[in-house]
Structure 1
Amino acid sequence: MAIGKRGPARTYWLVGASSGIGAALVDQLVARGHRVAISARDQARLEERSARDPERVLALTVDVTRLDALIEARDRLIEHWGVPDSIILNAGDYEPMGLADFDPALFERLMRVNFLGAVNGIEAMREAFVGRGKGEIVLTASVAGYRGLPYAAPYGASKAAMINLAESLRPEFQRAGVAIRVINPGFVRTRLTDKNDFAMPGRIEPVQAAEQIARGLERDGFEILAPRGFGWVMKGLRLLPYRLYFALTRRMLKEPGQ
């Protein structure tokens, strides 16, 4: 079985689907003829979206920090539509943090949602996918996970952990017939990036990101960039030696008091 083989219509479970990239991606997948089970904590938003396409969109309210909730939602999905072809773990949280506001609780919160939420999602589908020898796990990480950036320590660390997680698990999953992939968005206009007070080069709208991600899901490959141009710029920064990289990131610092 070729891991990258995709039929004309698939069943996706999209976790983190109530707003931003996730909500836009639901529209893109449905428009391409797929069925999408959508999950988030906001039950009202999920049910409103499901009501627009009741044959193709199934609402499953979950909190990704609770493995039992994900397992319960998985069982409901399998009962309704069978084992999905793919789970997209898109739930995320973000808060900028400078040294003056250093807060271990913020690290814990973002790790619990972003990283451990993805771990829980993987565990929810692991046995079903491996048992049948096919399936796809997609983690929404970020280009912020490539290298450390000022004011993004909690978020960047959680996204770096997600990329490392996918890289670490890929060989064993691949041997079992299961694909594991990452989506690495750049700056996308969402309620989370609206918290930033700095210029965001290459910032795109959620629908643009969703279009690029949907196209990427139709192709093989470990990584999907959205947008691709800015993603490759950020990739290039990984090649810089520390001396040059830190000279660059020092220029990103705000003046004290700002």
Structure 2
Amino acid sequence: MQPLNAPIRDWTGLRVWIIGASSGIGAALATEALQAGARVALSARRADRLQAVAGTHPQALVEQFDILDRDAWSQRHAHICDTFGGVDLIIFCAADYRPERSWEVDPERAGQTLATNLGSVYTGLATVLPAMLARGNGSIAIVASVAGYFGLPNASVYGPTKAALINLAELLYVDLRPRGLNVYLINPGFVQTPLTAKNEFTMPALQTPTEAARAIRHGIMAGRFEIHFPRRFTLAMKLVRWLPYRLRFPLVSRLVRP
């Protein structure tokens, strides 16, 4: 079957920009891409953590900035383009998460999560798309989550942002693939990161960031649109997603105690 995206099999010299590269999946992806021969720009707020990930690798470029600073996006993009000559693949990994029930949501904190998880992606797209569209190639990868498949307790703000990212990736594919761009939707299950460390429940099929990074790169190499893993867990979540509400709601309610 023909892949939905053009497979990227050779990463040698590929110009990659990873947003949220200081820890978790983003940091592991940076290491994976560098080992595969890519030139990688690493961005997040913490310069010290970015530098720790980059190490002394000659093809790593630390581009520290706050993704909520709209002006900083264009500045960092311009510097990456001056250094690398452009961006072939941008991966949006940055995320904010706080486990909370609906009655525990703080509006100010919710706004921060919405801006980080969703708003920053729009700013990033506005930054990189003009150049990609002008040359007729480029790739965009958005890390959403299986938490966006359906409403889950304890993900009162995080879940809706991930659902929005799934919707966004789908419409981006329809808009951009005919114009030569690749769009990847990445829906991980539970991955051992500083964000999931906040959970107080047992996380089934928990993966390491390295395992997640390898799954993502392999999915991009294969040209898949949706890259979801581990499949033994994500396929079960997809099944629950398609259940009628009458069956789904009681099942989801068992996941937490009122």
Q: Offset of 1:121 from its aligned partner?
A: 1.2
Q: Which runs of 5+ in 2 are unaligned?
A: none
Q: Offset of 1:3 from its aligned partner?
A: 5.2
Q: How many residues align structurally? A: 253
Q: Offset of 1:11 from its aligned partner?
A: 1.3
C-alpha distance in 2 between matches for 1:251 and 1:5 = 40
C-alpha distance in 1 between matches for 2:103 and 2:180 = 47
Q: Offset of 1:104 from its aligned partner?
A: 2.2
Secondary structure of the corresponding residue to residue 157 of structure 2: helix
Instruction: Please tell me the residue identity of whatever aligns with 1:173.
Output: L
Q: Summarize the Cα distance change of 1:101–1:68 in structure 2 as closer, same or farther, 3 Å threshold.
A: same
Secondary structure of the corresponding residue to residue 24 of structure 1: helix
Q: Offset of 1:5 from its aligned partner?
A: 4.3
Identity %: 39
TM-score of the superposition, structure 2-length normalised? 0.94
Give per-residue Cα distances to partners, 1:191-214, cap 9 Å, x unaligned: 110111111111111111111112
Q: Which 4+ residue blocks in structure 1 deviate beyond 4 angstroms? A: none
1:11-26 equivalences under 5 Å are: 11-26=15-30
Which of 88, 93, 97 aligns to 2:96? It is 93
Give per-residue Cα distances to partners, 1:153-203, cap 9 Å, x unaligned: 100000001111111121111121111211111101111101111111111
C-alpha distance in 1 between matches for 2:33 and 2:197 = 25
Which of 217, 222, 228 aligns to 1:219? It is 222
C-alpha distance in 1 between matches for 2:213 and 2:5 = 22
Q: Which runs of 5+ in 1 are unaligned?
A: none
Secondary structure of the corresponding residue to residue 91 of structure 2: strand
TM-score of the superposition, structure 1-length normalised? 0.94
Q: Offset of 1:66 from its aligned partner?
A: 2.0
Secondary structure of the corresponding residue to residue 231 of structure 1: helix
Instruction: Please tell me the residue identity of whatever aligns with 1:11.
Output: R
C-alpha distance in 1 between matches for 2:184 and 2:45 = 24
The residue aligned with 1:44 is: 48
Q: Summarize the Cα distance change of 1:168–1:48 in structure 2 as closer, same or farther, 3 Å threshold.
A: same
The residue aligned with 2:6 is: 4
C-alpha distance in 2 between matches for 1:150 and 1:5 = 36
C-alpha distance in 2 between matches for 1:243 and 1:106 = 32
1:83-162 equivalences under 5 Å are: 83-162=86-165
Greater relative contact order (CA < 8 Å, ≥ 6 in sequence): 2
Instruction: Please tell me the residue identity of whatever aligns with 1:44.
Output: D
Q: Summarize the Cα distance change of 1:152–1:3 in structure 2 as closer, same or farther, 3 Å threshold.
A: closer
2:102 and 2:156 in contact (8 A); partners too:
no
RMSD of Structure 2 on Structure 1 (CA):
1.5
Secondary structure of the corresponding residue to residue 187 of structure 1: coil
C-alpha distance in 1 between matches for 2:52 and 2:254 = 45
Q: Offset of 1:6 from its aligned partner?
A: 2.7
Instruction: Please tell me the residue identity of whatever aligns with 1:22.
Output: G
